[in-house]
Chains A and B, each alone.
Chain A
Amino acid sequence: MTEEKIILEAQNGNRQALSELVKMYEQTVYNFAYKICRDRDRAEHTMQETFMSMIRSISQFSGKSKLSTWLYTIVSNHCLMMARASKKKFHTSFDDDDALIDEKSIANWNVTPDRVTENNELKEILDEAIKKLPPDYRIVFTLRDVEGLSTEETGNITNLSIPAVKSRLHRARAFLRNELNETFQNG
């Protein structure tokens, strides 16, 4: 059965089809939620809420966008809502583009990205760095650079204009690079 057919069946209330959709997308949703929340419990909670929303409103899904885009949107909104509720302050200033690029900090990195899969210490460094970014920056970086979505798709999901997506992406990249530079410049 094609995904289109499964969605139609799910819209007609077929429990088996709903279950099928959940199984098709749970890994994607969980992984994306983790990348945004950087916490397994919160990622699981976000995933549960996301599929609850999907089941509640599957009948309104028009098929104009991809189901994955629709799910990314629910995850992003849920994450932004939780961030607002937690009132965590992000003191990092992103208003000054110049400060993000410091020529003195340019250095060769003695590391290859392949190491990440088996290195827990490295994972912790990556988690801590990205957690310092405000959630909308984190979401834009993850959608564009990690998940490989286009600027337009990212704009639709986050409700941001194209220039706003681009400036967030640029600042997020520069910020994360600077954070990691402290660890890697001396190898």
Chain B
Amino acid sequence: MDKQNTTCKQVMHYICDNLGEDIDSPKCIAIKEHLNNCGNCQTYFKSVDYTIMFYKKYDVKISEEAHKRLMNHLGLED
């Protein structure tokens, strides 16, 4: 999801997917009507979206030493 322009549709896909609902089901249409007019929900889902982005961007690199220890452990050193 694009962090700058979270759209209601994307948010709905998120929610309706969680509910196991089709995007055109009555439940999802009702959700859409609510979301279109609710800043509170938009703020909430933006913070959920940010939460996911934080964890996505947090990567760790394997160090050269850890790589060597791995190859040694496996008996695959060059």
Q: How far is the CB of A66 from chain B (nearest CB, A)?
A: 20
Which residues of B pack against A, CB within 8 Å? 3, 17-18, 20, 40, 43-44, 46-48, 50-62, 66-67, 69-71, 73-74, 76, 78
A: interface residue count bin: 35 or more
Cβ B55 vs Cβ A130 within 8 A: yes
Answer whether A22 and B62 are a contact pair too, CB < 8 Å, given A173-B51, A177-B48.
no
Binding-face segment, A77-85, A106-114, A152-160:
A106-114
Task: Please give, as numbers and ranges, the residues of chain A lying within 8 Å of B71 by CB-CB distance.
Answer: 19, 22
Binding-face segment, A48-56, A67-75, A87-95:
A48-56
16 A-B pairs (CB sep. < 8 Å): A26-B62, A31-B61, A40-B60, A51-B74, A55-B74, A103-B40, A106-B40, A108-B46, A109-B46, A112-B3, A113-B53, A113-B57, A116-B58, A151-B17, A166-B20, A177-B47
